[in-house]
Amino acid sequence: MSGDAHRNGDDQAEAREAPETLAPSPGNESWSRPRRTTPGPTPEGIQFKVFGKTHVGLIREHNEDNFMLADLSSDAGPLEGEDEFEGAVSDRGVAFAVCDGMGGAAAGEVASHMAVDALFEVLRGDSAAQDRDSFARRLVTAVEEAGARIFLAAKKDRTRRGMGTTATVAGLIDKVLFVGQVGDSRCYVLRNGQLSLITKDQSLVNQLIEAGQLTEDEAEAFEHSNIILQALGTTERVVVDLTFIELRRGDRLLLCSDGLSALVHDDAIREEMACVGPLPQLTDRLIELANAAGGHDNVTCIVADFDGDALEPPEEGAVPFYQQYPLPRDGERHSAGPTLPTIVKSMVPRAMAAPRPDRVSQPQPPSSFSWPIAAAVVVLLGLAAAITIIGAGGRSSETIAGPPPPPPPAYADAQTPVEVRVRSNVQQGELYVNGRSYGPLRLDQAVLLRLLPGSYRIEAREVDGTRIGQDVRVEPGQPTEVQLAPPAD
């Protein structure tokens, strides 16, 4: 099978026929794949359909977007673009990615092309991942490796200095969808008729919205709305935001570049996702909406449906939300159990960023929210004013010397989640908040919750049925520490 998975620009008007080895046949919904020699963690009975498409838009001369659809059990490369595929998830899993290039001329196209090549190579690996943690770590490594390759290529070729790309990469294994994020392409999930954004835009404007310095209406006219805080290739190292959800039967996934999300309101996206059944028609409709709204950017969409007996049916009223997945330290494994373990959780979906035009990259390292809002905003905008814009026409990238300051703190009001750290000294406990499970507790790690201001019952429940709980009042803007310990004898 051809490894050309990069359908770009006007060349994408002609969809190519899928190779026979991957085409589903009557009575056989799985792809032809190498014989399995090692049992994997993925249960039988997870079925999916997927379709991807990219369009140059109405203004740009070049399409700098690329996307990847990959059955990781195939060694022939990513799947051909613009054909619908359906099959069963193998023990190696499946992966999808949207990469939105920047850098002007052909540099952005080169960067996004390099990214999807590196992503497939690392994600497939030499063997199936042993468990969720190893798969998640492989996904993060794939994104980091893609960024390192692009950075090195740009360093060697002066004509491509400053090239980069966003990357939103979704990988499914063991019913769990992991998403690695650098930049501001997005991943949405439609469940129970509701559309949830499960990634967080790494952009200055979104940071200021979350800090309470901008409203979504103000963000539309914000002078520096084109600045993103990270991109693959603009720095030697990136920090991957790793999130996850456990899929449910009937979930519909959307990965898209900001050519869609910056121009089309989430309500309009939700309506199309809920009402249009066939995936090729759905992507066409989403691209039409983006072009009808101006089409000033390349637009790329990947849509996928998931079904099968191995997936639990969705709970009534339950919707997925942004939640980080912390990889354990070297040598440490998450404990096995019926509940997906995590350390960072949020009780509410995060606010979605306002639409914004063409953007550029300002790299940002990980840091905690510790600077005063005013100082952080002034410094950030001062840095933005000093940035050198590289490349002409199309998308451009920004770089600065030295690391930028930490982001501003979360804005303290009744609608903004507050950090609550929970620790426990029980040996085998599970965390519950208002009766809802939030995974296992560990002796050496705090669980970070993001809760709206209000009253909560926080409990550690041991395997023998013992409960240790506290009634906690979360005040606006006041991070809270909770220690769950059994009463002294």
DSSP string covering 44-92: S--EEEEEEEEE--SS-SS--EEEEEEETT-SS-SPPTTS-EEEE--TT
Per the rule left: phi > 0, alpha: psi between -120 and 50, beta: everything else, 465 is left
Q: Which of residues 378 and 51 earns the better pLDDT score?
A: 51
- Sign of torsion, CA 226 231 233 238? positive
Mean pLDDT of 12-28: 33
Residue 231 and residue 150 in contact, taking contact as beta carbons nearer than 8 Å: no
What is the rounded average pLDDT of the residues 345-354? Answer: 31
185, 167 contact by CB (below 8 A): yes
Give 335-381 as a 3 state SS string. Answer: CCCCCCCCCEEECCCCCCCCCCCCCEECCCCCCCCCCCHHHHHHHHH
Report how far residue 185's alpha carbon sits from residue 460's, in angstroms, rounded to the nearest whole number: 37
Q: What is the pLDDT of residues 355-367, one digit of tens each?
A: 333 444 444 444 3
* 134 vs 333: CA distance, rounded Å: 9
Domains of the chain: residue spans and CATH: 41-325 (3.60.40.10), 418-484 (2.60.40.1120)
pLDDT of the residue at 330: 55
Instruction: Please give the sequence-ordered ranges of beta strands (E in DSSP) within 232-342, or none if there are none.
Output: 241-246, 252-256, 299-307
pLDDT at 438: 73
Mean pLDDT score across all residues of the chain: 75
Residue written as token pair 């159990």:
337
Within 192-291, strands assigned E span 194-197, 227-228, 241-246, 252-256
Query: 71, 79 in Cβ contact below 8 A?
Result: yes
Provide the 3-class DSSP secondary structure of residue 182.
Answer: strand
Secondary structure letter of residue 113 according to DSSP:
H
List beta partners, residue 442: 445
Confidence bin at 444 (pLDDT 50/70/90): low
